[in-house]
Homo-oligomer: A and B are copies of this chain.
Amino acid sequence: MAHISIIGSGNMGQAISGLVAKGGNTVELVNSSDAGKPVTGDIVVLAVPYSSVASVIAERGAQLAGKVVVDITNPLNFETFDSLTVPADSSAAAEIAAALPESHVVKAFNTNFAGTLQAGSVGGQTTTVLIAGDDADAKALLAGVVGAAGLRSVDAGGLKRARELESLGFLQLTLAVGEKISWTGGFAVTE
């Protein structure tokens, strides 16, 4: 049994919370009004926009030491939908890992729309969560939570691959905003 804290109660935070509970693991939803309350999860999901991550880290960085921290962000410039706000040779996950050297940072869920996490399928395929990270145990712990909910996970490689996952998330968002795909569709991973 894993215990997961989710910081942020938007549509992604809610979808991931539902997924955790569906798999029989325990979940704690934490929002900005809970500022004084330390997170208790072994896994902590940062389900806030990338622009809010720095303030979460400033407030809770020390609490996150030793924990698996899940970065789900797509660091888009949401005014233009035409670029990312992180350096071209970096990623949101790499920036977060640099700011949390005592945590095990993994990138996950940024290539999944909330609707496909809730449905458990996309285009007739089981929804697949792509997970990148440098700590095998951290990835396995998260993969267990995903698998318990009946979804599939795929190890996408080291944290360096977060850059490609963020490109994929970016592309998928531009396609949805441009009405080329729906918010219940997008990229399915086919074996």
Contact = CB atoms under 8 A, between A and B. Distances in A.
Interface residues of A, number: 34
Contacts of A191: 123, 181-182, 185
A174 to B, nearest CB: 6
A122 B190 contact: yes
A170 to B, nearest CB: 6
Nearest to A81: B157
Nearest to A169: B164
A29 interface: no
Q: How many copies does the complex hold?
A: 2
Contacts of A170: 164
A59 interface: no
29 contacts: A87-B88, A89-B89, A123-B123, A123-B125, A123-B191, A124-B124, A124-B125, A125-B188, A154-B175, A154-B180, A155-B180, A156-B171, A156-B174, A156-B180, A157-B174, A157-B178, A161-B174, A163-B167, A164-B167, A164-B170, A167-B167, A167-B168, A168-B168, A181-B190, A182-B191, A185-B190, A186-B190, A187-B190, A188-B188
Given A163-B167, A164-B167, A123 B156 contact: no
A82 interface: yes
Contacts of A190: 122-123, 125, 181, 185-188
A165 interface: yes
B175 A171 contact: no
Contacts of A60: none
Nearest to A190: B123
Contacts of A125: 123-124, 188, 190
